[in-house]
Structure 1
Amino acid sequence: MKKSIIAFVTLILLASCNKNESKTNLHIAGNIKGLKKGTLYIQRVVDTTLVAIDTVNIDGSSSFESNLELKSPEMLYLFLDRGVSNSLDNNIPFFAEPGNITIETSLDRYLMDAKITGSKNHEIYEEYKKINSRFTDENLSLIEKKFTAIKNQNTKAVDSLNAKQDSNIKRKYLFATNFALNNRDFEIAPYIALSEIYDINVKYLDTIHKSMSPKVAKSMYGKKLTEYITKVKNQK
């Protein structure tokens, strides 16, 4: 009888463990070279605010890992609490998806040295950022030139630079639209639409929306894009 009770309790414990393990479908592992002590927070956006969904304490080893339940691929953030400031340089964005993701970086160049592997969505996101940075750099250059033109009261040059800025913005939005369309089978597509070109003419957002695969349409960002387009159309 005693053996039967022990066996029964063991089965319950095993079932409980398996149940808990089944709730996690994302394993994050990484290393922050040079970090000996500190706290890492894995965050997600909730109502425009970053909220911690897991905390990892670093004490002695620069390696870390976390297991999470991810209902749908989404942009997460790995925040390093340096105890000094909440600088954006302390936050690494990464497009998470179920599976195994590795994040490697350094303490001195936390954001710049970040290397994320294991997520196809993040790989595509990096490709987008690389090309999109050209438009950002061009805009900064134009702003600098316009500041000089304004200082010199060169109205003609200011008008010309304003026109170039408008053209640069249009090319940036066109690129983002085409990029989302070309990657319609990935959750990064509706994310780009919502985060980068939400204020574009709704017909372009509608085109992205209609091109999404059924899987992407049912994802978190796919549903958010549907809701956003409906809201914009109802306001007209």
Structure 2
Amino acid sequence: MKKTLIAFVTLAVLASCSKKETAADNLHITGNIKGLKTGTLYIQRIVDTSLVAIDSIKIDGNSAFERDIKLESPEMLYLYLDRGVTNSLDNNILFFAEPGNINIDTNLDNFIAGAKITGSKNQELYEEYQKINSRFRDENLSMVEAKFKALKRKDQKALDSLDAKQQSNIKRKYLYATNFAINNKDHEVAPYIALAEIYDINLKFLDTIQKSMTPKVAQSLYGKKLTKYVADIKKEEQKAPAAAKAETATTEAQK
């Protein structure tokens, strides 16, 4: 089954579409960017596959910052640094926001790699997940390099062996993500990982994650997205046999 859109666009971002009056801001973000004298920070979220700024912070002399934001549900946000004249790819910190107090400390030279984020349980779990997941990525990169060398020397036996190892690595990565999501079904990081990391896995695994979510998580932003995403896949798969039958009947009628 073809999936032409990533899983995050199965629903519009719920936090941005409500027209009802909102309560007081419930997310307090503080932080410090050591070495930053001037610049602008933007707090962003994904809306229809694009990053959209929901707030901005001017830095002028004091590298410490804070902001209060209304958050409808735990959500992955981005802290983007506009360095002005300096062009750098190291400028967007991903962090799992949730109601409460979150602190982000980093430095200008290693904005992403040097970031320390505290105050969010979902962020803590996501970092735990990424530590293991990074091993699968590193293994895959090593095998890609090895395959390139094998291709240059026309070693088909080595290429076949590396292909098998890559497939095994992918399976282990997907099973790890599935188990991690199920084991943390009471946190919003579970449906997020299902949507962001393994959205193209076999439906039965997504279905298991979706059914394992606690009621609270199921009603969260990503919980609702995952429920809809699974339901949409099931509908598509139900249409496929009907379409195949109709095509067969048409073919038979034309004989």
Q: Which residue of 2 aligns with 1:133?
A: 134
Q: 1:178-235: per-residue Cα shift (whole Å, max 9, x none)?
A: 0000000000000000000000001100000000000000000000001100111111
TM-score between the two structures when normalised by the length of structure 2:
0.83
Secondary structure at 2:67 match in 1: strand
Q: Which residue of 1 aligns with 2:204?
A: 203
Q: Which residue of 2 aligns with 1:74?
A: 75
Q: What is the deviation of 1:85?
A: 3.6
Which consecutive unaligned segments of at least 5 residues does structure 1 have? Answer: 1-19
> How many pairs does the alignment contain?
216
Q: What is the deviation of 1:23?
A: 2.1
Q: 1:115-137: per-residue Cα shift (whole Å, max 9, x none)?
A: 00000000000000001000000
Q: Identity of aligned pairs, percent?
A: 68
Q: Which residue of 2 aligns with 1:29?
A: 30
Secondary structure at 1:23 match in 2: coil
TM-score between the two structures when normalised by the length of structure 1:
0.90
Q: C-alpha distance in 2, partners of 1:100/1:145?
A: 45
Q: Which residue of 1 aligns with 2:106?
A: 105
Q: 1:53-102: per-residue Cα shift (whole Å, max 9, x none)?
A: 00000000000011100000000000001124462x20000000000000
Q: C-alpha distance in 1, partners of 2:190/2:87?
A: 33
Q: C-alpha distance in 2, partners of 1:97/1:149?
A: 47
Q: C-alpha distance in 2, partners of 1:170/1:162?
A: 13
The alignment status of 1:162 with 2:163, answered yes or no, reads yes
Q: C-alpha distance in 2, partners of 1:54/1:100?
A: 17
Higher relative contact order (CA 8 A, sep 6+): 2
Map 1:8-157; keep pairs closer than 5 Å: 22-83=23-84, 84-85=86-87, 87=89, 89-157=90-158
Q: Which residue of 2 aligns with 1:194?
A: 195
Give the aligned residue type for 2:184: N
Q: C-alpha distance in 1, partners of 2:87/2:49?
A: 20
Q: C-alpha distance in 1, partners of 2:150/2:132?
A: 28
Which consecutive unaligned segments of at least 5 residues does structure 2 have? Answer: 1-20, 238-255
Secondary structure at 1:41 match in 2: strand
